[in-house]
Amino acid sequence: MSRTNPVPSPSAIGPDGRAMTLDDLPPSDTKRWVIRCKALVVAGVRGGLISLEEACERYKLSAEEFHSWQRLIERHGLQGLRVTRTQKYRDPSADGRADLDQPMEL
């Protein structure tokens, strides 16, 4: 009796160091982008599970937003993806405090 081996699904290394597949990516209707979800999308694109274009379309992201996640991971690790720390990580001169005498830049 012959046994057929199913074709393995593509895999990449996830942010936790384990193999991940397309099933590990966040759902396409993700609304709350926690660190883990962002990291999984970046790992999926880096590992070839999904293209940048597919990720942007699936998650309604701009390429700029995706690349900012990627840069933050490269420079600061997963903690760089924390929303509360984003300004500090993006602006190396920021010390985490707002200058209340100056107009806010958008």
Per-residue pLDDT tens digits for 21-60: 999 999 999 999 999 999 999 999 999 999 999 999 999 9
pTM above 0.85, yes or no: no
The helix or strand, by DSSP H or E, that contains position 16, with its residue range, turns out to be none
Beta strands in the chain (DSSP E): 12-13, 19-20
Chain CA centroid to CA 47, Å: 12
Confidence of residue 106 (pLDDT cuts 50, 70, 90): very low
Would you identify the CATH topology of the domain 12-90? Answer: Arc Repressor Mutant, subunit A (1.10.10)
Token pair recorded at residue 35 = 């660190």
Cβ-contact 69, 77 below 8 angstroms: no
- Yes or no: say if 43 and 21 are a contact pair by the CB < 8 Å rule: no
